[in-house]
Amino acid sequence: MKCTVCREPAVIDLRRHNSNFCASHFTKFCRDQTQKAIDEFDMMTPADKVLVAVSGGKDSLAVWDILLDLGYAASGLYIGLGIGDYSDESKRYAREFAERRGAELIEIDLPAEYGYDIPEGSRAARRAPCSACGLSKRHLFDQAAVDGGFDVLVTGHNLDDEAAVLFGNVLHWQTEYLGRQHPVLPARHGFPRKVKPLVRLGEREMAAYCIVSGIDYIVDECPMAVGNKHIGYKNALNEIERTSPGTKADFYLSFLRKAASRFAGEAEESRDGLGACERCGAPSTADVCAFCRLVERATSARQPVELTRKGS
């Protein structure tokens, strides 16, 4: 197998692009695809102050690495979720990467700063772990970006993630979510601009990018992801992709080009009428935002346990 560009030995074959690449042309391919997504969807410019949401996994570290190489001023934001060894290890990878690249890493520790971890928050709020986690992360990412004066918040969602979410939204005709499923959400109502520069690159490519770039990342999946419906959607799409390479990219990117705008109105309506949370000031449709309600439930559920322990 030879590199399509230079004929040196290739390290990866990309069937949907009908190409093979050596390590250096693969790295260039990933950078080019990222820059193409940034340009195509007007995500940001090198003048922007960029904050990357970093989990310690391959996608977030890869996008951070690529943005730094493309000349963006990108800081990282890591949130300690209190998910046992998984959180300890993922923090170590995020710190190691930041140190190696000499980049700023902002850290927030959910248990230390807000008094609960994701397993507790999920039990107390009677939400699935990923729902309590997603709500907490979204709130803290938004707040850190706005407080830190960042122009744009970057997440490492890749093509596989976005295609799986789209698949789920289509299966259930979640038209409001379809209206919001764009790789750029403009800044408004106290939310920062949010962008997903990896939407043209798949999961396998991001793992390969980290390997050829010498980036260590947490390989284990989050233990709380078990039962997450998106894993099933990804598997179903991978099965289709196996026999028809390129279908996944076509499904998602053609949705953006041909159909997304038809649902934009519904998303607009749901974002109108936002007020400010009376406790934290974040944009909210209710007097107290969902995050502050989660904090309240999770911490009041914790207190009696601590009191019992102290008294015993």
Residue 211 has which token pair? 């390997």
In 3D, which of 34, 41, 39 has the Cα closest to residue 261? Answer: 41
Residue 274 has which token pair? 């936002």
Residue 130 binds to ligand Q46 (criterion: CB under 6 A): yes
In the chain, DSSP finds a helix count (H) and a strand count (E) of: 13, 10
CB of 158 to ligand Q46, least distance (A): 12
- HSE-up of residue 270 (Cα within 13 Å, Cβ side): 11
Residue 290 binds to Zn ion (criterion: CB under 5 A): no
Q: Which is nearer to ligand Q46, 130 or 199 (CB)?
A: 130
Strands ordered across the beta sheet of 73-80: 105-109, 73-80, 49-54, 152-154, 193-195, 184-185
CB of 80 to ligand Q46, least distance (A): 11
Tell the residue number behind the tokens 């991978």, with chain if given: 238
d(CA 246, CA 243) in angstroms, rounded, equals 10
- Render the burial of 178-188: b for 16+ CB within 10 Å, e for the rest: bbbbbbbbeee
Residue 134 binds to ligand Q46 (criterion: CB under 6 A): yes
CB of 161 to ligand Q46, least distance (A): 9
d(CA 252, CA 233) in angstroms, rounded, equals 13
Residue 79 binds to ligand Q46 (criterion: CB under 6 A): no
Terminal Cα-to-Cα distance of the chain (whole angstroms): 68
Q: Is 288 exposed, middle or buried (0-12, 13-18, 19+ CB in 10 A)?
A: middle
Q: Which x/- pattern, by CB under 5 A, does the window 196-225 give for Zn ion? A: ------------------------------
Q: Which is nearer to ligand Q46, 12 or 195 (CB)?
A: 195
Residue 129 binds to ligand Q46 (criterion: CB under 6 A): yes
Number of residues that bind ligand Q46 (CB under 6 A): 8
Tell the residue number behind the tokens 């322990």, with chain if given: 309
Phi, psi of 39 (to 5 degrees): -70, -45
CB of 12 to ligand Q46, least distance (A): 25
d(CA 98, CA 102) in angstroms, rounded, equals 6
Residues 255-274 that bind Zn ion (CB under 5 A): none
CB of 56 to ligand Q46, least distance (A): 10
Interacting partner of 129 out of Zn ion, ligand Q46, none (Cβ under 5 to 8 A depending on kind) = ligand Q46
Q: Which stretch binds ligand Q46 (CB under 6 A): 2-10, 128-136, 161-169, 298-306?
A: 128-136
Q: Which is nearer to ligand Q46, 30 or 218 (CB)?
A: 218
Q: Where are the beta strands (DSSP E) in 89-128?
A: 105-109
CB of 13 to Zn ion, least distance (A): 13
Q: Which is nearer to ligand Q46, 165 or 224 (CB)?
A: 224
Q: How many CB atoms lie within 10 A of CB 143?
A: 17
Q: Which is nearer to ligand Q46, 112 or 231 (CB)?
A: 231
Residues 223-242 that bind ligand Q46 (CB under 6 A): 224-225
Q: What is the pairing mode between strands 73-80 and 105-109?
A: parallel
Residues 142-181 that bind ligand Q46 (CB under 6 A): none
Q: Which is nearer to ligand Q46, 7 or 92 (CB)?
A: 92
CB of 120 to ligand Q46, least distance (A): 12
Residue 307 binds to Zn ion (criterion: CB under 5 A): no
Contact residues toward ligand Q46 (CB under 6 A) are 118, 129-130, 133-134, 222, 224-225
Contact residues toward Zn ion (CB under 5 A) are 3, 5-6, 22, 25, 277, 279-280, 282, 289, 292
